[in-house]
Amino acid sequence: MTDRALVSYAVGTSERGRRVGEPAPAGRSEFQRDRDRIIHSAAFRRLEYKTQVFVNHEGDLFRTRLTHSIEVAQIGRSIARHLRLNEDLVEAISLAHDLGHTPFGHAGQEALNACMKEHGGFEHNLQSLRVVDVLEERYAAFDGLNLCFETREGILKHCSRAHAAQLGDVGARFLENRRPSLEAQIANLADEIAYNNHDVDDGLRSGLITLEQLEEVGLFADHLRQVRASYPELAERRLVHETVRRMINALITDLIGQTEQNILRERPEGVSDVRAAPVLVAFSPEMKEANSELKSFLHANLYRHYRVMRMSTKARRAIRDLFTAFTNDPRLLPPTSRMQSADDLARVVADYIAGMTDRYAIREHRRIFAIEEI
């Protein structure tokens, strides 16, 4: 989509540019360049072996952070195209939003945050920004990927005030009570649409939740009834896919409609008006309530399922063990992860652990703690 096709309050080009100045790209936009750099990064490739709910070795068909990020980008681009916003920026943010996630999903993040309590804590959004700003080592002229301000801003969708104060311009909006671009707001809710609905699919595939349970959840039950009425002989696997597909479509349609109403009410003329306005990308109150019911169901029945909890307990222990081992004896770290001074040891260890895939973390734990391993 060209700049002329965008609405006036879309992000056309990067107004604040990159931290290190570069010549304009030839044959692609600045945000297409950002997307390309993200896709070619090592952190993006590692998402293939980082999981959402299920640990990587539990099955080949469960979603990983990589497939999730691609699905978020697809949903986000669809919304942005309808609203005449910058699809390329939405895609870049969507593909990068999970680059800082630890192995073992939320259990790994909680464990690493606890380990880092005395050293500034650990926030996966901050870590994603750290990956693209500092940790990637691909270019001669700068550390990280040197992404545009607007892409970096969208990656940092949550941040504590204490950390925001240390981040300069990209953290300023958290201190000034301002909003990010509409493109960043879209990526945020596209993430929610993707993981809620696809966790339903993975939960059913795993057998940890059942159709009978989901028939008590309004959003799922409504679409399930419609599919059964239209296709009474449909096999269960296809029944689930069709129901989840319709749920995603309903959420996207509602989001677009409510967002259009919000924009019409606030009448932003440029990106600065978007930043000063309330959050504009949103579900209707009715859909927000229905989606919250689905989220509550997943939290109680999938994320807290005893089999998931058992694996989460193992994951937390593995992260704690690795963190303790590396901070007690930095000689156990590979040479590429050595700290520059003793003061940054904890952060270097956190960077190393956060960058691990599920299976690498399992192997590293075994190598350090299993006597039969080398």
Burial per residue of 235-271, b for 16 or more beta-carbon CB atoms within 10 angstroms, e otherwise: eeeebbebbbebbbebbbebbbebbeebbeeeebeeb
Cα–Cα distance measured from residue 147 to residue 38, given in angstroms and rounded to the nearest whole number: 9
CB within 8 A of 17, min separation 6: which ones?
148, 149
**224-266 pLDDT, tens per residue?**
999 999 999 999 999 999 999 999 999 999 999 999 999 999 9
Residue in the block written with tokens 């100045």: 21
Of 210-224, 281-295, 329-343, 346-360, where does mean pLDDT reach its minimum?
Answer: 329-343
pTM of structure: 0.93
**What integer pLDDT is reported at residue 233 of this predicted model?**
95
Domains and their CATH numbers in the chain: 3-308 (1.10.3210.10), 309-369 (no CATH)
Which pair of tokens denotes residue 282? Answer: 């949103």
Cα–Cα distance measured from residue 315 to residue 58, given in angstroms and rounded to the nearest whole number: 13
Cα–Cα distance measured from residue 169 to residue 159, given in angstroms and rounded to the nearest whole number: 13
**What integer pLDDT is reported at residue 59 of this predicted model?**
44
Q: Are 254 and 193 in contact (CB under 8 A)?
A: no
| Rounded alpha-carbon distances, angstroms, from residue 106 to 139, 240, 315 | 31, 26, 10
Instruction: Give the model's confidence band at 202: pLDDT under 50 very low, under 70 low, under 90 confident, else very high.
Output: confident
| Rounded alpha-carbon distances, angstroms, from residue 223 to 199, 218, 293, 302 | 17, 9, 15, 20
**89-147 pLDDT, tens per residue?**
999 999 999 999 999 988 999 999 999 999 999 999 999 999 999 999 999 999 999 99
Q: Are 116 and 181 in contact (CB under 8 A)?
A: no
